[in-house]
């Protein structure tokens, strides 16, 4: 296991950092206040190739590995969580699922334009009554000849009003003895009749992003748009979360770093009792804990990325990385506000936004409590990963660089 970054990795770091720091950082506070997404962000990310960074070239991607994906997410969230959320949803929760479970025809039709950023994608999993309990999904997809009829509503869907494609999990067999086995997954073109969407405002954090709802009324979905086999929806959803959680872990690591760097800068600038506050031991203690959290979180997500590159199942490792990094990012942002004092409590400095954004990370894509239960289950040998019919493909530099 070698975590030495390649020249390609460093190029990704530099390119994404330049975009985020130079183009987004100067305007993000304005859009956070307006609770709106800056209109140039999605087209610019597409232009830079970020939206297809770790997909094979033959499917419109950049052909880079999963470590590059993690590094990109770290740099994006070091500026604002909304940038990383785009990657988590469009790339981790949707595009990687198509890479893993899609037919060649589905990859050609849906994955390739998503990789190029010509189409934006989201995941429709959560409902008003189904969050951590995925088996409680109430949306239905009833088979009718060569199509399914979709009805229901999804809530808290990032990119709901921006997406062209949505990966929807709905109930196809209400009589299944195990409700998990009654779910199936579908690729939904959002311009179909019967699909309506809306934005949700008034969120604590991630305000410069897009979060909304999707409603379905007798929406027709062709049979060829079903992802995987009927009844595999729960397994597909869990594999989506494995990939999305990896991007969340990497992004939260960037948020820890941003809180640490802001605290170090302010500790040198602020004077109290005749000397800079960085000289006081309790301020040093807070910054030292941020250093510890950053280095630990980074190693955890790099290990998960390495396992993805090797084609190894990484549900346990990715869960641990997500749990640790998101909890640590919330603590780091809180301590950054404490170091900034009253200024940290206002939006004159970035740290108050970091704290608001960080709270989302400990809730979405598996709450911290869910991840604690998962880790205890693995340790006590109560939990065992079920083999999947389609595993995420291991990274292969030569084949992933082959053009169509």
Among residues 184, 217, 234, the one where a domain terminates is 234
Same domain, yes or no, for 352 and 377?
yes
Q: In this predicted structure, what is the pLDDT of residue 404?
A: 79
Among residues 63, 88, 120, the one where a domain terminates is 120
Mean pLDDT of the chain: 97
2 part of a folded domain? no
Same domain, yes or no, for 146 and 270?
no
Same domain, yes or no, for 218 and 328?
no
Q: How many domains in the chain?
A: 3
- Burial bucket for residue 140 (CB in 10 Å: 0-12, 13-18, 19+): middle
Q: In this predicted structure, what is the pLDDT of residue 216?
A: 98
Same domain, yes or no, for 50 and 89?
yes
Q: In this predicted structure, what is the pLDDT of residue 294?
A: 98
Q: In this predicted structure, what is the pLDDT of residue 95?
A: 98
Distance CA 385, CA 391 (A): 12
In the predicted model, residues of the chain with pLDDT beneath 70 are none
Contact by Cβ (8 Å): 117, 128: no
Active site residue 104: no
- Pair of tokens at residue 38: 């800056």
Same domain, yes or no, for 380 and 345?
yes
pLDDT digits (tens, 9 = 90+) for 239-278: 999 999 999 999 999 999 999 999 999 999 999 999 999 9
Enclosing domain of residue 277: 235-385+392-398
What CATH number does the domain containing 169 carry? 2.40.110.10
Same domain, yes or no, for 301 and 367?
yes
Q: In this predicted structure, what is the pLDDT of residue 203?
A: 97
Distance CA 128, CA 337 (A): 33
Which one is catalytic: 365, 369, 384, 403? 365
Q: How many CB atoms lie within 10 A of CB 235?
A: 21
- Pair of tokens at residue 81: 């969580």
pTM of the entire predicted model: 0.97
Pure H helices in 341-403: 351-361, 368-379, 397-400
- Pair of tokens at residue 196: 């309506």
Q: In this predicted structure, what is the pLDDT of residue 163?
A: 97
Among residues 234, 256, 273, the one where a domain terminates is 234
CA Rg value for the chain: 21
404 part of a folded domain? no
Listed residue (77, 74, 76) closest to 357, CA to CA: 77
């Amino acid at each position: 296991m070698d975590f030495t970054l390649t020249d390609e990795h460093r190029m990704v770091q530099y390119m994404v950092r330049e975009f985020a720091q130079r183009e987004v950082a100067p305007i993000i506070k304005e859009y956070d206040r307006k609770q709106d997404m800056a209109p140039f962000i999605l087209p610019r990310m597409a232009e830079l190739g970020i939206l297809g960074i770790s997909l094979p070239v033959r499917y419109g991607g950049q052909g880079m590995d999963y470590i590059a994906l993690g590094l990109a997410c770290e740099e994006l969230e070091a500026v604002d969580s909304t940038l990383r959320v785009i990657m988590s949803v469009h790339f981790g929760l949707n595009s990687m699922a198509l890479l893993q479970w899609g037919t060649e025809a589905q990859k050609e039709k849906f994955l390739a334009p998503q990789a190029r950023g010509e189409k934006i994608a989201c995941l429709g999993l959560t409902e008003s009554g189904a969050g951590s309990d995925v088996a409680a999904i109430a949306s239905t997809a009833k088979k009718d000849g060569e199509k399914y009829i979709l009805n229901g509503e999804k809530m808290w869907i990032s990119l709901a009003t921006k997406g062209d494609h949505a990966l929807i999990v709905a109930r196809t067999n209400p009589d299944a003895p195990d409700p998990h086995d009654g779910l199936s997954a579908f690729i939904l073109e959002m311009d179909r009749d019967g699909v309506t969407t809306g934005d949700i405002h008034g969120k604590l954090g991630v305000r410069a992003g897009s979060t909304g709802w999707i409603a379905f009324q007798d929406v027709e979905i062709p049979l060829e748009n079903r992802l995987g086999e009927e009844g595999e929806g729960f397994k597909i959803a869990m594999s989506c979360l494995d990939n999305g959680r990896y991007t969340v872990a990497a992004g939260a690591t960037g948020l820890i770093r941003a809180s640490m760097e802001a605290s170090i800068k302010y500790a040198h600038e602020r004077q109290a009792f005749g000397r800079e506050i960085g000289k006081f031991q309790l301020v040093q203690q807070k910054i030292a804990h941020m250093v510890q959290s950053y280095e630990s979180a980074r190693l955890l997500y790099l290990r998960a990325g390495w396992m993805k590159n090797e084609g190894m199942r990484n549900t346990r490792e990715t869960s641990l990385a997500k749990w640790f990094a998101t909890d640590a990012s919330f603590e780091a942002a809180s301590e950054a506000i404490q170091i900034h004092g009253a200024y940290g409590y206002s939006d004159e400095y970035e740290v108050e936004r970091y704290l608001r954004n960080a709270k989302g990370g400990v809730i979405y894509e598996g709450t911290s409590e869910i991840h604690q239960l998962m880790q205890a289950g693995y340790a006590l040998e109560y939990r065992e990963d079920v083999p999947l019919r389609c595993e995420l493909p291991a990274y292969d530099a030569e084949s992933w660089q082959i053009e169509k």
